[in-house]
């Protein structure tokens, strides 16, 4: 996520991420949300798949 945010900052030099106490504007936050959406979707899918695997493993070890 850090590398992705660095790419976002390169693409949006008007975002001041290093200023203490400052936050992104609503517009900048919307840009970041759109920029990072694919990675977020992938992470959610990976977590869901892992949860499914863990549940299946628990069912196997507990038995019927």
Residue carrying structure tokens 């693409």: 11
Q: What is the pLDDT of residue 64?
A: 65
What is the Cα–Cα distance from 21 to 8, expressed in whole angstroms? 20
* pTM to 2 decimal places: 0.65
Give the up-direction half-sphere exposure of residue 14: CA atoms within 13 A in the CB hemisphere. Answer: 6
What is the Cα–Cα distance from 14 to 23, expressed in whole angstroms? 12
Compute CA distances 14 → 6, 8, 20, 33, 49, whole Å. Answer: 13, 11, 15, 16, 37
- pLDDT values of the chain reduced to their tens digit, one per residue, 64 residues: 889 999 999 999 988 877 766 788 899 999 999 999 999 999 999 999 999 999 999 999 887 6
């Amino acid at each position: 996520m850090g590398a992705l945010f660095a790419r976002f900052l390169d693409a949006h030099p008007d975002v001041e991420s290093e200023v203490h106490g400052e936050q992104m504007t609503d517009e900048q936050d919307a840009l970041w949300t759109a920029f990072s959406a694919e990675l977020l979707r992938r992470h959610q899918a990976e977590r869901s798949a892992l949860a499914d695997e863990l549940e299946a493993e628990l069912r196997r070890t507990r038995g019927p």
